[in-house]
A and B are shown apart, each in its own frame.
Chain A
Amino acid sequence: MRVLVLEDETKVGCFIKRALEEESYAVDLCEDGAKGLEMALATNYDLLVVDVMLPGMSGLDVLKNLRRERIQTPVLILSAQSQIDQRVKGLDAGADDYLTKPFAIDELLARVRALLRRGATESPGVLQVDDLMFNPATREVTRGGQRIDLTLKEYALLEYLMRHTGRVLTRPMISEHVWNQDFDTFTNVIDVYVNYLRNKIDRGRTKKLIHTIRGSGYMLKAD
């Protein structure tokens, strides 16, 4: 899941990025509103976390511009203003949720999870493909009741695959949603990580869940 954080207070931006990364999200950070809007228009993010007071362009204007361009990426507004009219203004501008500073990291992460869930066509809290279970809240992955331990990147990759089961996911799509802007496109990192996942999920089992679609990418499905 790829997230764009627009926050001009460097320290705040940094700890949000770090908290999200520890949850295996791919995070880009931007301190300027206008630049952030460009990034949001250019890349297909899964979620935007936007501060209201930004240099260049206010967070609300970024949001309005996005919605005018018919980009329906879920947006979580961050603001130091807790007054109701401010929240209303934010939500009316097209935000999906509103969080007042200062906030607890747990709440931020829970709201991010909720927004991502909503984005993926009303999927339930726990994702399941065949006997593979994936719980984003507890970060627990099991297959046939057996616990599988994953690294952050493997987890992120599996989450993306699980949220798009039965669909062909190309390498550019995977890199866009699982890695951040520092990702170097000309490596075979994706294939390497898919192999890691295969080893942990499909190895030694008769039913394989991760399929290679030759010439285009990968697909996760039950049969």
Chain B
Amino acid sequence: MSQTNDTNAYWSANVRLILISLAIWALVSFGFGIILRPLLAGIAVGGTDLGFWFAQQGSILVFLALIFFYAWRMNKLDREHGVDEE
């Protein structure tokens, strides 16, 4: 029974991590890059504004950081919950 409880805890921790990551994923691309761009118009970046930078480069850099963070965090979580590949 404890096995199942631990698996459930592992899965909900994973789902929580996914939700947080996806919130950031959406914020930088759909948010800063598109919908919220007018709000960032005041912040100048190299001849244009921050929203343009997020749309063309910034979001890509955040995506990269997110994937590596998730992989690192999950591998740790696997070990903590004893579900890693031995």
Chain A bound to chain B: no
Q: Which A positions have Cβ atoms within 8 angstroms of B?
A: none
Q: Which B positions have Cβ atoms within 8 angstroms of A?
A: none
